[in-house]
């Protein structure tokens, strides 16, 4: 019986890790940001991007203070996926065809969910451990933090630019992108740079989904043979 208070104290200490507290702040920032997305574009964009920056900060804090935790990693990924999903849903209502954004949402969630599940099946400590992958691009993505950061930032920046440029609920996506790229401005340069990183990220999402699905199928085959 004497062990219970100690166990509760240990659990509480993990919940109160510095990177996890930053994670809770990210959730609150996103909640408030989306409550303002239809009334204040600039405030929404600032809060959303601030939450995204905090994603890098909590990872740095986890390593700096030796507070890496499974709960923190899951909180981090769930926050990332939900915030991106919400923004894609908003964009699907602002642009035609909206199915493009909903398809991107499905790919994003499916690839990351399958990757997490396959990680547990193989007994790996992290979903970023892809050293045994046959895809050089997949290995480069998870093996190089700068490359991964560029791809992730590109996606979020591109989505925020599209959100900022939307004026009504009947915008044609390709028209907005082409007209903006033809202009000589910082925004068009930023969009052009982001499109490449965004495209690479979608390719990686597809590779991740296929690779993780293969792991699940091979696990089923091995399980059958062992019985």
What's the predicted TM-score (pTM) here? Answer: 0.88
Contacts for 196-200 with beta carbons within 8 Å, 24 or more apart?
Answer: 196/154, 197/150, 197/151, 197/153, 197/154, 197/155, 197/158, 198/151, 198/154, 198/155, 198/158, 200/137, 200/151, 200/154
Give 93-149 pLDDT, tens digit per residue.
999 999 999 999 999 999 999 998 999 898 887 888 898 888 999 999 999 999 999
Q: Average pLDDT, whole number, for the chain?
A: 91
Which residue is catalytic, options 58, 76, 80, 108?
80
Give 2-20 pLDDT, tens digit per residue.
555 556 557 888 999 999 9
Report the pLDDT value the prediction gives residue 6, as an integer from 0 to 100: 57
- Cβ-in-10-Å burial (0-12, 13-18, 19+) of 113 comes to middle
**Within 13 Å and on the Cβ side, how many CA atoms surround 80?**
21
Report the pLDDT value the prediction gives residue 62, as an integer from 0 to 100: 93
Which residues does 150 contact at the CB level (< 8 Å), separation at least 6?
Answer: 197
Q: What is the mean pLDDT of residues 198-222?
A: 95
In the chain, pLDDT over 90 holds for what percent of residues?
71
Give 45-59 pLDDT, tens digit per residue.
999 999 999 998 998
- Cβ-in-10-Å burial (0-12, 13-18, 19+) of 76 comes to buried
Q: Give the whole-angstrom CA distance, residue 118 versus residue 148.
A: 20
Q: At what angle do helices 70-94 and 41-64 cross, to 10 degrees?
A: 160
Q: Minimal CA–CA distance to 79: which of 54, 98, 101?
A: 54
Report the pLDDT value the prediction gives residue 4, as an integer from 0 to 100: 58
Q: Which residues pair with 172 in a beta bridge?
A: 96
Residue spans per domain, the chain: 96-226
Clarify whether 80 is annotated catalytic: yes
Lowest mean pLDDT among 28-42, 107-121, 158-172: 158-172
């Amino acid at each position: 019986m004497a062990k219970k208070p100690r166990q509760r104290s240990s659990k509480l200490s993990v919940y109160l890790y510095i990177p996890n507290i930053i994670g809770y702040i990210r959730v609150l920032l996103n909640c408030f940001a989306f409550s303002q997305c239809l009334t204040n574009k600039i405030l929404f964009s600032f809060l959303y991007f601030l939450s995204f920056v905090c994603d890098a900060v909590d990872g740095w804090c986890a390593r700096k203070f030796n507070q890496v935790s499974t709960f923190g990693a899951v909180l981090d990924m769930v926050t990332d996926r939900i915030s991106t999903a919400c923004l894609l849903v908003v964009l699907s209502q602002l642009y035609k065809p909206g199915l493009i954004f909903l398809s991107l949402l499905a790919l994003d969630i499916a690839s990351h969910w399958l990757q997490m599940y396959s990680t547990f099946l193989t007994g790996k400590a992290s979903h970023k451990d892809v050293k045994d992958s046959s895809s050089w691009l997949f290995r480069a993505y998870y093996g190089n933090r700068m490359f991964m950061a560029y791809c992730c930032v590109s996606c979020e920046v591109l989505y925020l630019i599209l959100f900022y440029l939307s004026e009504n609920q009947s915008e044609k996506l390709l028209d907005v992108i082409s007209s903006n790229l033809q202009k000589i401005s910082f925004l068009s340069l930023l969009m052009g740079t982001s499109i490449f990183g965004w495209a690479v990220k979608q390719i990686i999402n597809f590779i991740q989904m296929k690779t993780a699905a293969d792991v699940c199928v091979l696990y089923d085959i091995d399980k059958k043979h062992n019985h």
